[in-house]
Amino acid sequence: MNNGPIASYPFAREVPDGDTHERHVCGDCGWINYVNPKIVVGAVCTWEDKILLCKRAIEPRHGYWTVPAGFMEEGESTAEGAARETLEEACANIEIDALIGIYNIPRISQVHMMYRAKMTSPEFGAGEESLEVDLYAWDEIPWNEIAFPSGVWALKHYYETKELTAFQPFDNPELDRHRTR
């Protein structure tokens, strides 16, 4: 049975000294393989009074609509990740306005962080992961075809907070020089 890359090493599931959770621990050297939740970042993006949605070209939920979102990459901030995902999925450039929601989804070990954003121009298109992309007025959103609960939550939080000033993402360039990449 192949359990991925660690299957060829002498790993065992055990609680390491000083820890409280079972982990894969190497029996030869004691190295601990920490498996932690994944962070998904995205944005409810608007142009004028319409919301940008993408129809998924990939699984899970192929053919369903979503706000541009995806897994955060190493070396980027959550806001940078949301902007990158929007560019990749909808070929649109955005300016992040505010964090509108953090959604914990423990059953799949994910944390979703969604921002409110404005498109910098009306140009957009379908990226590789999208079948189509379009702008929707609030009352035109295909609610029964939204791919994930976090997309519904983000859209509703956007609507509830669209007139409010909210928490701004904080990226300190001085701290950036201490990052290891």
Q: What is the CATH number of the domain that holds 76?
A: 3.90.79.10
Q: Are 162 and 156 in contact (CB under 8 A)?
A: no
Asked if the structure places residue 6 within a domain, the reply is no
Asked if the structure places residue 70 within a domain, the reply is yes
Residue 131: C-alpha distances to residues 1, 53, 63, 70, 127 (Å): 36, 11, 7, 16, 8
Alpha helices (runs of H) in the chain, residue ranges in sequence order: 78-90, 149-161, 173-176
**Is the pLDDT confidence value at 180 over 90?**
no
The burial class, CB within 10 Å (0-12 / 13-18 / 19+), for 169 is middle
Task: Determine the straight-line distance between the first and last CA of the chain, rounded to whole angstroms.
Answer: 34
Asked if the structure places residue 90 within a domain, the reply is yes
- With a pLDDT cut of 70, the percent of the chain lying above it is 86
Q: Is the dihedral of CA 156, 161, 166, 168 positive or negative?
A: positive
Structural domains of the chain, count = 1
What's the pLDDT tens digit per position in 8-62?
668 899 999 999 999 999 989 999 999 899 999 999 999 999 999 999 999 999 9
Domain range for 92 is 38-161
What pLDDT band is residue 118 in, cutting at 50, 70 and 90?
very high
CA distance 72 to 113: 10
Mean pLDDT of the chain: 90
**Is the pLDDT confidence value at 5 over 70?**
no
What pLDDT band is residue 1 in, cutting at 50, 70 and 90?
very low
Q: What is the pTM of this model?
A: 0.81
- With a pLDDT cut of 90, the percent of the chain lying above it is 80
Asked if the structure places residue 58 within a domain, the reply is yes
Asked if the structure places residue 63 within a domain, the reply is yes
**Is the pLDDT confidence value at 143 over 90?**
yes
Residue 120: partners with Cβ closer than 8 Å, 6 or more residues away: 93, 94, 95
Residue 1: C-alpha distances to residues 7, 8, 24 (Å): 8, 10, 16
Lowest mean pLDDT among 5-9, 42-46, 103-107, 142-146: 5-9
